[in-house]
Amino acid sequence: MSSAIKKSSNLIDSQRALNLSGILVNAMVGGLGAYSVSGTPLFTAAVVLAVAQLALFVHCTQFATGSDSRLSFWLQALCIGTLFFVVPSDFIYILTVVWLVQSVELYGAKRTVWHFVGTAIVFTVAQLVYFGMTNMLDYFISIGLYSLLNMFAISVVQKFVGEREQKEHMAELNRDLMATRDLLSQSSAQSERLRISRDLHDILGHHMTALILNLEVAKHQVEGEPKEKVEQSLALAKLLLSDLRSTVGELRDEGSINLEESINALVSGIPDFAIDVDFSTAAKIDDVELAETFLRCTQEAVTNVLRHSNANHCRIEMNRDDSCYTLSVSDNGNVAGDIQPGNGLKGMQERVNAMGGELAWRQNEKGFQLIVSLGAPQLS
């Protein structure tokens, strides 16, 4: 587990370094672009556009999520495209490198290629507006060099994103493995305790009962000092049988599954995401299949939160009344439009239905909540 956490920390550091370099590039290129038109009527417009571009980049990479990120991304495109026409210097095209890096993060490499073509076209138009058909050789050299730089940046970021997704997937599998191993270990221990308790009850309990009956008979057939010894033996046998039954009961009581421990193993080590696990009002679960169903539903619910919402906090809560267990997984994210069940939700629905339970979800301004209810046939 520590290995997975270390890998996640490395990924976070790499992302921060990438964002910091983007801030520096935007600041330097924007500043140089504004300086290149200082003393002209275009200076104020260049400063405003450069500052807006920098602010939008910081907002997109540090604060915005979901649709807000995409809005900031396209507003940056507007600023950069306008700067092409405000600043008559080809180095302003370097801003597209940072913009296309964000495109890979938001839209993937295939759509980024089309964004790259679009920036090249807009830059070409701006150059033609400024210089016409003169110095075409210089223009082709510039556009060629900057295009190679853009293609290199896209390739590097695509590789980075792929490695990050792969490592995140490996960390997720590792957490799943740890949780499954914990549940399996508890299940094996539970089965062994139940086997021992049954053997004690069925074998030793039977023999002790037979011994007590024989001593009861012997007590009525002897007199004097032997009878006193038989009565002492009978009392000890009854006390031993009582202790045996108490031990069997304790073994059965200890045979419950600690689902909270397994879920903690499942969600530990997730970077930059707060998860609260509350089992304070939950009773013990004795059924392994029931515990596994809750564990798998929790796993899928947390995965959906991480992949499909912009939440930064999740709460996992377990409750129980006389008739059922209830698992609740809620987050503080927001999802545009109605939730359309995908393979994850459908798989949970099938798993819960097979156990005779109910699966429900709801969303509001506070976030998304998933509720799993399964029957509790016995009270602990």
Q: What tens digit of pLDDT does each residue of 168-189 get?
A: 777 676 777 677 777 677 667 6
Q: Measured between alpha carbons, how far is 239 from 246 in angstroms, rounded to an integer?
A: 11
Q: Does residue 54 register a pLDDT over 90?
A: yes
Q: Provide the pairing of β-strand 367-375 with 324-331.
A: antiparallel
Q: Are residues 157 and 11 in the same domain?
A: yes
* CB-based contact 301:211 (threshold 8 Å): no
- Of 159, 168, 225, the closest CA to residue 4 belongs to 168
Those residues with Cβ within 8 angstroms of residue 205's Cβ, 6 or more apart along the chain or in another chain: 241, 244, 245, 248
Q: Is residue 181 part of a domain?
A: no
pLDDT in tens, 77-125: 999 999 999 998 888 999 999 999 999 888 888 899 999 999 989 988 8
Contacts (Cβ under 8 Å, ≥6 apart) of 202: none
Report phi then psi at 262, rounded to 5: -65, -40
Last residue of a domain, one of 135, 169, 203: 169
Query: Which of 230, 253, 276 marks a domain boundary?
Result: 253
Give yes or no: residues 56 and 140 share one domain: yes
Structural domain of 305 = 259-375
Instruction: Please state the φ and ψ torsions of residue 334, each to the nearest 5 degrees.
Output: -135, 140
pLDDT at 283: 67
Least confident of 39-43, 62-66, 140-144, 324-328: 62-66
Better pLDDT: 65 or 306: 306
Are 141 and 211 within one domain? Answer: no
- pLDDT at position 162 is 79
Residue 183 lies in a domain: no
Place of tokens 């960390």: 171
Domain membership of residue 176 (yes or no) is: no
**Cross-strand bridge partners of residue 312:** none
Choose the final residue of a domain: 169, 201, 218: 169
Name the one residue in this structure whose structure tokens are 């896209």.
Answer: 154
Tokens 């202790």 belong to: 243
Distance CA 45, CA 283 (A): 66
Handedness of CA 242, 248, 254, 256 (dihedral sign): negative
Name the pLDDT band for 4 (thresholds 50, 70, 90): very low
Q: Are residues 90 and 200 in the same domain?
A: no
pLDDT digits over 64-79, tens only? 766 788 899 999 999 9
DSSP for residue 269 = T
User: What's the structural domain count of the chain?
Assistant: 3
Q: Is residue 105 part of a domain?
A: yes
pLDDT of residue 75: 94
- Compute the average pLDDT of residues 336-346: 70
Asked whether residue 145 falls in the same domain as residue 20, the answer is yes
Q: Is 22 exposed, middle or buried (0-12, 13-18, 19+ CB in 10 A)?
A: buried
Residue 110 lies in a domain: yes
Secondary element (H or E) of residue 278: strand 274-281
Q: What 3-state DSSP class applies to 271? A: coil
Q: Say which DSSP state 285 is in.
A: B
* In-domain check, residue 174: no
Are 144 and 201 members of one domain?
no
* Within a domain: 175: no
Helix, strand, coil in percent for the chain, rounding step 5? 70, 10, 15
Residue 147 lies in a domain: yes
232-291 per-position pLDDT tens digit: 777 777 777 777 777 666 656 655 677 888 888 888 877 778 888 888 877 677 777 888
CA-nearest of 315, 269, 263 to 170 is: 269
Q: Are residues 226 and 143 both part of a single domain?
A: no
DSSP H helices, 37-135, are 43-58, 67-86, 95-107, 109-131
Same domain membership, residue 227 and residue 293: no
- Quick check: 163 pLDDT over 80? no
Based on the domain organization, do 276 and 231 belong to the same domain? no
Q: Are residues 194 and 326 in the same domain?
A: no
DSSP letter at 311 equals -
Predicted confidence at residue 189, as pLDDT, reads 66
Cβ atoms of 90 and 146 closer than 8 Å: yes
Q: What percent of the chain has pLDDT over 90?
A: 18
User: The domain spanning residue 355 has which CATH number?
Assistant: 3.30.565.10
Q: Are residues 230 and 329 in the same domain?
A: no
Pair (243, 267) in one structural domain? no
Mean pLDDT of 38-46: 91
Amino acid at residue number 364: N
Q: Quickly state the pLDDT bin for 55 (edges 50, 70, 90).
A: very high
Q: Is the pTM of this model over 0.75?
A: no
Q: Could you give phi then psi for residue 111, rounded to 5 degrees?
A: -70, -30
